[in-house]
Amino acid sequence: MKRLTILFLIILAIGSFLWPWLREIGLMGLPGDVMTEFQGYRLHLPISTALLISGAMYGAWRMLHPPS
């Protein structure tokens, strides 16, 4: 469990570091991303962006570690 927590924190840090770069290449406004503003608060839920990135990571993982 400790390793999983550390891995999650590392992925979170990398994602935070890459956030501006992802905005520049246009990945932060895909159809399916939810953005709402209510009483001066802004909520952005990048659902389709997260699915796209996780799918790419899964594909890369499967290419590097084929089933035996």
Phi and psi for 40 in degrees, rounded to 5? Answer: 85, -5
Which tokens in the block code for residue 20? 């501006």
Q: What is the pLDDT of residues 21-60, one digit of tens each?
A: 777 776 667 788 888 888 888 887 778 877 888 888 888 8
User: Does residue 62 carry a pLDDT above 80?
Assistant: yes
Strand partners, 38: 41
The model scores a pTM over 0.85: no
What range does the domain containing 8 cover?
2-64
